Amino acid sequence: MKKILFTWVVGAVLITGATSCSGFLEEYSQDLAKVESWRDLDEVLLGDGYMQSGRVQVFDSYSTPERKGNLDILHFMSDELQQVDDNVSDVVAYKSSMFPFYTWQQDTGMDEKFKYVGGDETYWDFLYNKINICNMVIALIDEQPESNDDDRIEKERVKGEAYFLRGAYYFLLANLYSEPYVPAKAENMPGVPVKVTEFVEDTEFRRLTLAETYGQILEDLSEAERCLDGKRRASIYHANQTAALLLKSRVYLYMQNWEKAAEYAGMALDRQSALLDLHTKTPGENCIYKDSPETIFSMGDYMISTAFADRRREQPPYYLSDDMQALFDRNDLRSTLYVGETEHRGYPGVFMKVNGQLSKWGGYYDVSSNFLLRTPEAYLTLAEAAAYSGDEDTARQNLKTFLTTRMNGSVTVDEAGEELIALIRDERAREFLLEGHRWFDLRRYTVCEPYPWSKVIEHGHVYIADYEVDYIDYYRLEKNDDAYTLPIPREIRNFQNTLGNNSRPVRKPFKTVTY
């Protein structure tokens, strides 16, 4: 009976755009209708529930990207990147596709000429379609036949992975389309629409409160933690209990529940605490990869690294921002391992941590720039949560353990109070450079007690005419700007206007430089 539920209309189920609905049905309904065992659901989850990897294929005279959707907008909204003024090459077309996010436009469906062209629902649809798959798997897994104990164990594993993914996707949605979590206000702050059933409901969905949204996230991750306890997995591309614990610590950190954030970070470290000693690496080597002792879980690709190759004749389209480059000092091993020069012309200030050169392109990226869980996060979460709680000795000890693998010479950590918090925040910026953390960190710092913090960010967008720079418009994200929250996409609001929208200012250039 439930097998026919795989042919539902996704738009009616969870507010996705009409265009994506038909494509979803054509791609998935026939395969999913044939589910006969937990193995079928395992394959569905791995193929369609998880984010997929991608690659850039390199040919003699051109390169072409191959991917299945991702969240690169996280890199472009933050303070990590700057466009190169006199470059006209952009392999993945980031400059045009990321314009409304890079310049924090009020309507993220605008193109470079401020014309609405749509596509702003892409990321909303991407995440909700993944959630739909998880709902299906969770609904069907228990009824699959068991012939032995191994079948029972594997069914629990698949269920746990589905719960992990659903919690992760709602967490991403909440941090894209809802304001940062304020404990005293969360009961009255709008979250996102939540649906956890697999059947069609004839109802208008509403945005839960932010407290309710986070409650659902924690409930899913708790169920994942339970189901994945003691389960073996095939690879780092399947979630395990350690991944659930670490993600749960991140959720509590964003909720400013310091005690629980520290507790779950510690539980993750109890299971996997190894750090990669960067003293063993040389410039040009990948510093994050699937077999690293730090890697806990990964899904998605690292396509953003293509923005930093000089392609032999031309400058890369992006450099790391001046602010990011300034964070690395000479005693920091990451100053030459994470940041460096292009391989052909030696342009400085480019990303080197993983696949940062043209010669590295071709194969599928084995780790993600959007959803990668590593042990350094557990150390830094534990340090941050402990510092906020007043346990500065624990914070300093975890920082020292971590920094011993990152710095030349002996490491001392004697900061206290706000200086200690500032050090931890800078360490997160350095360590998680272009891993999808920074935008979310900048958001939560604006409301973080007892040390709220925000900064002004400026981005210059280059306009090209006749293969040369014509002019550059400069945009500014103000401190505590409303644009830290994305608008509800226009097509979604038109489909169901009861969802309302998020406040977001009109964004115009504050200066223009003409060439």
Q: Where are the domains of the chain?
A: 2-53+121-253
Give CA torsion, residues 289, 133, 120, 16, to 10 deg: 180
Quick one: which of 263, 288, 260 has its CA closest to 275? 288
Instruction: Report the DSSP beta bridge partners of residue 16.
Output: none
As given in the structure block, the two tokens for residue 206 are 């509403």
Q: What is the pLDDT of residue 27?
A: 35
As given in the structure block, the two tokens for residue 148 are 């032995």
Q: What is the pLDDT of residue 65?
A: 83
Sign of the Cα torsion 368, 370, 376, 382 reads negative
Q: What is the pLDDT of residue 312?
A: 67
Q: How crowded is the C-beta side of 419, counted as CA atoms within 13 Å?
A: 5
Q: What is the pLDDT of residue 483?
A: 98
Q: What is the pLDDT of residue 88?
A: 63
Chain Cα centroid distance, residue 154: 28
Chain Cα centroid distance, residue 491: 23
Longest Cα pair distance anywhere in the chain, in angstroms?
72
Place of tokens 């505590």: 480
Q: Look at residue 332 and give its three-state secondary structure.
A: strand
Alpha-carbon distance of 18 to 381, in angstroms, equals: 40
Q: What is the pLDDT of residue 61?
A: 67
Element (H or E) spanning 419, and its range?
Answer: helix 417-431
Q: What is the pLDDT of residue 340?
A: 94
CATH class of 2-53+121-253: mainly alpha
Residue 316: cis peptide before it, omega within 30 degrees of 0: no
Quick one: which of 290, 359, 329, 324 has its CA closest to 455? 324
Q: How crowded is the C-beta side of 337, counted as CA atoms within 13 Å?
A: 22
Q: For 299-357, write each residue's pLDDT tens digit.
A: 999 999 989 988 767 888 999 999 999 999 989 999 999 999 998 889 999 999 998 78
Quick one: angle between helices 258-271 and 241-254, nearest 10? 160
pLDDT tens for the chain, 515 residues: list them: 333 333 333 333 333 333 333 222 233 433 456 789 999 999 999 999 999 999 888 776 677 888 877 899 999 999 999 999 876 667 788 999 999 999 999 999 999 999 999 999 999 999 999 999 999 999 999 999 999 999 999 999 999 999 999 999 999 999 999 999 999 999 999 999 999 988 776 677 899 999 999 999 999 999 999 999 999 999 999 999 999 999 999 999 999 999 999 999 999 999 999 999 999 999 989 999 999 999 999 999 999 998 998 876 788 899 999 999 999 998 999 999 999 999 888 999 999 999 878 888 888 899 999 999 999 999 999 999 999 999 999 999 999 999 999 999 999 999 999 999 999 999 999 999 999 999 999 999 999 999 999 999 999 999 988 888 899 999 999 999 999 999 999 999 998 888 999 999 999 999 999 99
